[in-house]
Amino acid sequence: MIKKLIIALAITSIPAVASADFMDSNWAKKACGMWNANGTLTSKLGGKAWAANNGGRDYKLIQIYRTDCGAGSKIQLTIEDKGGKAMCTYGGKPDGKKVNTDFDYVMHASDKNWTCIGAGESFCGPKMAMGTGKLKFSGPKMEAMSVIGPFEQFLLLTGKVGGEKKPCK
């Protein structure tokens, strides 16, 4: 009886997850959590490999958006090096931190291309999308090329987080 009560209390205390539309602020929060759960992203991009190239600010910004919806629809992930691991500490609408493309990334693609990138299709997966221009980005291109293996995991998250691609507002 007590065991059933404890289980019931545990289930009712789980916070409801807000629904997310593709690349809205709730989607960014989910993407941030999925980043932190991905061992390749946290370990291979941590420390000097990638996260430490931040201009002395202790964070890197990744802003992404749907080209179809315009730059005003950007969302942001803030990545910090925490003990040698690249950890997402914020996911949501841009928080006012200034993007510096010497260290930070701004990426966008059409809805059609985001779908293909997120699915990891060989003809338009992450590496191919970057190489063919289906994924547009500003940022340190040489750095991006040097970590494309692990960074590919981030681009694949765009197909795993979920969310409906609703019409742009």
**CATH number for the domain harbouring residue 28:** 3.30.1050.10
Reported as a single tens digit per residue, the pLDDT across 41-61 is 999 999 887 999 999 999 999
Once rounded to an integer, what is the mean pLDDT over residues 23-50?
Answer: 95
Q: Is residue 106 part of a domain?
A: yes
Q: Is residue 8 part of a domain?
A: no
pLDDT at 9 over 70: no
Q: Which domain holds residue 109?
A: 19-157
Distance CA 145, CA 57 (A): 22
| pTM, full prediction | 0.86
Residue 90, classified by CB atoms within 10 Å of its CB into exposed (0-12), middle (13-18) or buried (19+), is: middle
Q: Is residue 148 part of a domain?
A: yes
Q: Is residue 1 part of a domain?
A: no
Q: Is residue 9 part of a domain?
A: no
Reported as a single tens digit per residue, the pLDDT across 108-130 is 999 999 999 999 887 787 888 88
Rounded to 5°, the CA angle 139-107-59 comes to 55
**How many structural domains are present in the chain?**
1
Query: SS3 of 22, please?
Result: coil
